Structure 1
Amino acid sequence: MNLRFFELTAIMLVLFTSCNSNEKKNAETASEDIIVEEVVIDSHTSENALDWEGTYIGTLPCADCEGIERTITINKDQTFVAKDNYLGKKDGVFDSRGYIKWTDNGQKIMLSDDNETSYFAGENTLTQLDQSGNKITGELADLYILKKQNVSQDDDIVFTDTKWILVKLKGKDISESEAFISFATEENRVFGHAGCNTFSGTYKIKNNTQLELSKIATTMMACPDMTIEDQFMDVLNTADNFSLNGNTMTLNKAKMAPLAVFETAE
């Protein structure tokens, strides 16, 4: 009986040792099968990957006016100058200035204005965000995008000898008008159509964007409605700089919102 007991004990000991050995091998095999995934962290942000310095312009929706023309200039030292022009309102121009703060790991910009307005910084765009820091959705979403005004040395080639069709005048869309302007390289001559009469004169460009118009003369034809022409001529007598962005050109006064917006003729 003792012999039988010892035989059973020996068998159980062998089986236990075998199980432990198999478990150890399975554990070692499982550990060998584990694939260590390399986590690649993208360190590119709007702050360090985009050329965000510059001037951005757009017309925002307005509940009690025709629109808010907003111009924001962001400087390399992370200061800003902003101007809001409430279209159709007397004394509706407001200025602010201060500094910017990068948030959301360098993807968004917050201004140090009274409302701490935030923008998502995209490629040549600033998209205004709501008070919770989210993008505004709906049919008017695109109106909250400010576009950067790009000007380079080569832009003079595009600016001159091009027929620029007037599409917006002092914040109002212009339709069914023949108004246009063109800057000829020959003798630095400017000419165009003001809506009723044609006009011509001379121009000078300094520092790539500063514009000086002089000797502007028009024909003397009378038309039933001279509203567009009168405002257009006022712009020509007021504007002191221009900006280019693709096929769009604006005439401006200082750093105010654009006085007139033009597009290239098709």
Structure 2
Amino acid sequence: MKKLLLASSLCLTACSQLPYFGSEPPAKLSRPAPVEKPAIPVPAEVVDANEVANSETTEALATDFEHIFIDSDMTFEGVLPCADCPGISYHINLYRDGRFEARQEYLERGQVELISGSWLLERRTLHLVNQQVTLPSFHFRSNQQLVMTDLSGRPILNSDAYQLNRLTAVKKLDSRQPMLGLYRLQNNQATFVTCKTGESLPVANTQNHLPMMRLYQQDSRFNNKAVIASLVGRKGADQNGADTLFIDKFEQFWPNATCPDQFAMKDLQGIVWRAEKIADRYIPHSLNVRLIFEKDKLYGFSGCNNFNASYQQRANTFAVQQLASTRKFCADASNIEQQFTEKLQQADRAEVNADKLQLFYNNQVIMELIPAVN
């Protein structure tokens, strides 16, 4: 039994060592060093220098670096680029109850849109929702700045031209806009039906309305009849909360004019035309360059002065006689006025094409006019 245990012990001892030859035992073998894999490069994150970094301070505010919370009323303003005008001026009010109001004005074209609806916020992307008008979407760069997004929904950060900045306090929306419509006065109570929407509004008897009332009462042609008028006004609520027109500035009456019907315009007569372009240059809407053609005469306003003239239109020929005009000087309008009157008297052909009146000279378009609906 002892011999068996001794044999087993010797066998275990022999199996625990590697055989070697020579006087010195070999060094102990070590595991091979792991091979380092090449690091996969990670694209550097683009950092927006104007974006508020996350911290204990920003986390405590309503706006953090991940989400925007519209928990107070906000006003943003700015001018965004426009393809065929100097820019589009925006005034946007965001209300914490989910509503928005916006004023969109195409500069030099005088096209003003007052838009309201609801806003949706998707992380930092703001959508302004209205069923009739499509507005751009914006990215909250911070809670002080909106940046317009491109068609793919990414903020346009390569130019400061696409930014709207927040005002320090909420600003009431300027709801004044140019209007053209049918004005009627009976028993010192006036109504105004807008050509653009057909909405009928009572007119508030304010100080700015008095000159319009007097001119209407003094003109025997009107006699309680509806007459086209152009003005600058706003829709608001009276003391009883009813929708009312408040006139800011009366411009002119246009006897024998009607509201334009863009689907049935064939003749140039009876429409108040607004000069939109001289050659390829837009005429600022604020100058109110307009005219109307009657049977054999025309009259209008050229930005500074009133004018009238005789004209002839036969087949494809058109000719305006020498203009008679008042002689005021307006520094901001005289250059445009001179170009307008020169081109009007130069025209040798007039055509109503779609919703535009085009004046030609030697088969070249020298002026474009559109029906005035505001």
What's the TM-score bracket when you normalise by the shorter of the two chains?
Answer: 0.3 to 0.5
Greater relative CO (CA pairs within 8 A, separation 6+)? 1
Structure ID, larger Rg: 2
Q: Calculate the TM-score normalised by the size of structure 1.
A: 0.40
Relative to total residues, which structure has the larger helix share, 1 or 2? 1
Q: TM-score normalized by structure 2? A: 0.29
